[in-house]
Structure 1
Amino acid sequence: MSFDANIVTQYYVLMTIKTFRCVDTETLFKLGRVARFVNIERPALRKLKQLDLARCIEDIRVPPANRLEILKGDRAGQHSIRINDQWRVCFRWTGTDAEDVEIVDYH
Protein backbone atom coordinates (compact mmCIF):
# COMPACT_ATOMS: atom_id res chain seq x y z
CA MET A 1 0.00 0.00 0.00
CA SER A 2 1.39 3.41 -0.94
CA PHE A 3 0.99 6.69 0.89
CA ASP A 4 -0.24 9.69 -1.08
CA ALA A 5 0.77 12.93 0.67
CA ASN A 6 -1.53 14.95 -1.61
CA ILE A 7 -4.60 13.26 -0.15
CA VAL A 8 -3.48 14.00 3.40
CA THR A 9 -2.73 17.61 2.51
CA GLN A 10 -6.14 18.01 0.90
CA TYR A 11 -7.86 16.62 3.99
CA TYR A 12 -6.18 19.12 6.29
CA VAL A 13 -7.00 21.99 3.95
CA LEU A 14 -10.69 21.05 4.14
CA MET A 15 -10.87 20.92 7.93
CA THR A 16 -13.39 23.42 9.24
CA ILE A 17 -13.04 23.32 13.03
CA LYS A 18 -10.34 25.83 13.91
CA THR A 19 -10.71 26.30 17.69
CA PHE A 20 -12.43 24.69 20.64
CA ARG A 21 -13.92 26.53 23.59
CA CYS A 22 -14.03 23.38 25.73
CA VAL A 23 -11.05 21.10 26.44
CA ASP A 24 -13.33 18.05 26.82
CA THR A 25 -14.90 18.69 23.40
CA GLU A 26 -11.46 18.97 21.79
CA THR A 27 -10.28 15.79 23.51
CA LEU A 28 -13.38 13.89 22.35
CA PHE A 29 -12.84 15.10 18.79
CA LYS A 30 -9.15 14.20 18.72
CA LEU A 31 -9.07 11.03 20.85
CA GLY A 32 -12.64 9.71 20.68
CA ARG A 33 -13.18 9.30 24.44
CA VAL A 34 -14.00 11.57 27.37
CA ALA A 35 -15.64 10.38 30.59
CA ARG A 36 -17.92 13.43 30.73
CA PHE A 37 -19.50 12.54 27.37
CA VAL A 38 -19.59 8.74 27.69
CA ASN A 39 -23.40 8.61 27.26
CA ILE A 40 -23.37 10.69 24.06
CA GLU A 41 -19.96 9.74 22.69
CA ARG A 42 -20.98 8.25 19.33
CA PRO A 43 -23.58 10.83 18.27
CA ALA A 44 -21.40 13.69 19.55
CA LEU A 45 -18.43 12.47 17.50
CA ARG A 46 -20.67 12.13 14.44
CA LYS A 47 -21.87 15.74 14.84
CA LEU A 48 -18.33 17.05 15.36
CA LYS A 49 -17.17 15.23 12.20
CA GLN A 50 -20.10 16.67 10.22
CA LEU A 51 -19.17 20.14 11.43
CA ASP A 52 -15.51 19.58 10.61
CA LEU A 53 -16.29 18.52 7.04
CA ALA A 54 -18.72 21.37 6.32
CA ARG A 55 -17.58 23.81 3.64
CA CYS A 56 -20.39 26.29 4.32
CA ILE A 57 -23.06 26.73 6.99
CA GLU A 58 -25.70 25.23 4.65
CA ASP A 59 -23.81 21.91 4.72
CA ILE A 60 -24.74 21.57 8.39
CA ARG A 61 -28.49 21.85 7.72
CA VAL A 62 -28.42 18.27 6.41
CA PRO A 63 -29.58 16.01 7.92
CA PRO A 64 -32.59 17.96 9.21
CA ALA A 65 -32.17 16.22 12.60
CA ASN A 66 -29.19 18.53 13.19
CA ARG A 67 -31.74 21.30 13.75
CA LEU A 68 -29.26 24.05 13.02
CA GLU A 69 -30.18 27.15 15.02
CA ILE A 70 -28.90 30.70 15.29
CA LEU A 71 -28.62 31.43 19.00
CA LYS A 72 -29.74 34.57 20.84
CA GLY A 73 -29.19 36.23 24.19
CA ASP A 74 -25.89 35.45 25.90
CA ARG A 75 -25.02 33.16 22.99
CA ALA A 76 -25.71 35.70 20.24
CA GLY A 77 -23.33 35.16 17.34
CA GLN A 78 -23.29 31.39 17.83
CA HIS A 79 -25.04 28.51 16.10
CA SER A 80 -25.97 25.11 17.49
CA ILE A 81 -26.81 21.65 16.25
CA ARG A 82 -28.54 19.00 18.32
CA ILE A 83 -26.87 15.87 19.57
CA ASN A 84 -30.09 14.87 21.37
CA ASP A 85 -32.83 16.63 23.37
CA GLN A 86 -30.37 17.55 26.11
CA TRP A 87 -27.00 18.17 24.41
CA ARG A 88 -25.91 20.62 21.68
CA VAL A 89 -22.76 21.41 19.76
CA CYS A 90 -22.40 25.21 19.91
CA PHE A 91 -20.00 27.13 17.67
CA ARG A 92 -19.29 30.41 15.90
CA TRP A 93 -19.31 30.22 12.09
CA THR A 94 -16.80 32.61 10.51
CA GLY A 95 -17.74 32.19 6.86
CA THR A 96 -15.68 29.08 6.14
CA ASP A 97 -14.69 27.80 9.58
CA ALA A 98 -16.15 26.77 12.93
CA GLU A 99 -14.57 28.36 16.00
CA ASP A 100 -15.12 28.14 19.76
CA VAL A 101 -16.71 24.70 19.36
CA GLU A 102 -18.14 23.20 22.55
CA ILE A 103 -20.60 20.53 23.61
CA VAL A 104 -23.18 22.05 25.96
CA ASP A 105 -25.80 20.56 28.28
CA TYR A 106 -28.81 22.66 27.31
CA HIS A 107 -30.92 21.70 30.36
Structure 2
Amino acid sequence: MQSRKLPGEIQNVARRKLRMINNAQIIDDLRIPPANHLEKLSGKLEDYYSIRINKQWRIIFKWENDTAFKAQIVDYH
Protein backbone atom coordinates (compact mmCIF):
# COMPACT_ATOMS: atom_id res chain seq x y z
CA MET A 1 0.00 0.00 0.00
CA GLN A 2 1.44 3.36 -1.04
CA SER A 3 1.13 6.60 0.91
CA ARG A 4 0.06 9.70 -0.96
CA LYS A 5 2.07 12.01 1.30
CA LEU A 6 5.25 10.03 1.83
CA PRO A 7 7.46 9.96 -1.28
CA GLY A 8 7.49 6.53 -2.90
CA GLU A 9 11.28 6.27 -2.95
CA ILE A 10 11.48 6.21 0.86
CA GLN A 11 8.40 4.15 1.71
CA ASN A 12 10.30 0.84 1.79
CA VAL A 13 12.99 2.34 4.03
CA ALA A 14 10.29 3.76 6.32
CA ARG A 15 8.61 0.35 6.60
CA ARG A 16 11.95 -1.30 7.41
CA LYS A 17 12.71 1.30 10.10
CA LEU A 18 9.24 0.87 11.62
CA ARG A 19 9.86 -2.88 11.81
CA MET A 20 13.19 -2.18 13.54
CA ILE A 21 11.41 -0.03 16.12
CA ASN A 22 8.75 -2.68 16.62
CA ASN A 23 11.36 -5.44 17.07
CA ALA A 24 13.61 -3.49 19.46
CA GLN A 25 13.91 -5.05 22.93
CA ILE A 26 15.54 -1.98 24.47
CA ILE A 27 15.95 1.57 23.15
CA ASP A 28 19.70 1.04 22.59
CA ASP A 29 18.89 -1.64 19.99
CA LEU A 30 18.05 1.28 17.69
CA ARG A 31 21.60 2.69 17.85
CA ILE A 32 22.54 0.08 15.23
CA PRO A 33 22.90 0.80 12.40
CA PRO A 34 24.55 4.14 13.20
CA ALA A 35 22.69 5.68 10.22
CA ASN A 36 19.56 5.62 12.40
CA HIS A 37 21.02 8.56 14.36
CA LEU A 38 18.87 7.66 17.37
CA GLU A 39 18.31 10.73 19.50
CA LYS A 40 16.19 11.82 22.44
CA LEU A 41 14.26 14.91 21.46
CA SER A 42 13.85 18.06 23.54
CA GLY A 43 11.46 20.97 23.85
CA LYS A 44 7.82 20.24 23.09
CA LEU A 45 8.84 16.75 21.90
CA GLU A 46 10.88 15.92 25.00
CA ASP A 47 9.00 12.65 25.53
CA TYR A 48 9.96 11.42 22.04
CA TYR A 49 12.91 9.76 20.34
CA SER A 50 13.71 9.90 16.64
CA ILE A 51 15.53 7.88 14.02
CA ARG A 52 16.31 9.03 10.50
CA ILE A 53 14.72 7.68 7.37
CA ASN A 54 16.87 10.06 5.31
CA LYS A 55 18.10 13.67 5.59
CA GLN A 56 14.56 15.03 5.37
CA TRP A 57 12.31 12.44 7.01
CA ARG A 58 12.30 11.08 10.58
CA ILE A 59 10.28 8.60 12.57
CA ILE A 60 9.49 9.98 16.00
CA PHE A 61 8.09 7.80 18.75
CA LYS A 62 7.66 7.50 22.49
CA TRP A 63 9.45 4.72 24.36
CA GLU A 64 8.26 3.36 27.69
CA ASN A 65 8.60 -0.03 29.41
CA ASP A 66 10.72 -1.32 26.50
CA THR A 67 7.93 -0.57 24.03
CA ALA A 68 7.57 2.04 21.28
CA PHE A 69 4.26 3.78 20.74
CA LYS A 70 2.79 6.89 19.09
CA ALA A 71 5.15 6.52 16.12
CA GLN A 72 4.85 9.22 13.47
CA ILE A 73 6.71 9.94 10.25
CA VAL A 74 7.58 13.63 10.08
CA ASP A 75 9.20 15.97 7.57
CA TYR A 76 12.04 17.77 9.38
CA HIS A 77 12.46 20.41 6.66
Q: How does the TM-score come out when normalised to structure 2?
A: 0.92
For residues 64 and 95 of structure 1, the distance between their equivalents in structure 2, rounded to whole angstroms, comes to: 23
Q: Which residue number in structure 2 is paired with residue 85 of structure 1?
A: 55
Query: Per-residue deviation at 1:95?
Result: 2.4
Indicate the structure with greater helix content.
Answer: 1
Q: Which residue number in structure 2 is paired with residue 67 of structure 1?
A: 37
Gaps of 5+ in 2: none
Q: Which residue number in structure 2 is paired with residue 35 of structure 1?
A: 4
Query: Per-residue deviation at 1:39?
Result: 3.3
Q: Which residue number in structure 2 is paired with residue 8 of structure 1?
A: none
For residues 28 and 46 of structure 2, the distance between their equivalents in structure 1, rounded to whole angstroms, comes to: 19
Q: Which residue number in structure 2 is paired with residue 50 of structure 1?
A: 20
DSSP-derived class of the 2:30 partner: helix
In the alignment of these two chains, the number of paired residues is 76
Gaps of 5+ in 1: 1-31
Q: What is the aligned-residue RMSD (CA, Å)?
A: 1.0
- Runs of 4+ aligned residues of structure 1 deviating over 4 Å after TM superposition are none
The percentage of counterpart residues that share the same residue type is: 43
Deviations 1:54-107 (A, max 9, x none): 011011111000000000011111000000000000000002111110000011
Q: How does the TM-score come out when normalised to structure 1?
A: 0.67
Query: Which structure has the higher relative contact order (CA within 8 Å, separation 6+)?
Result: 1
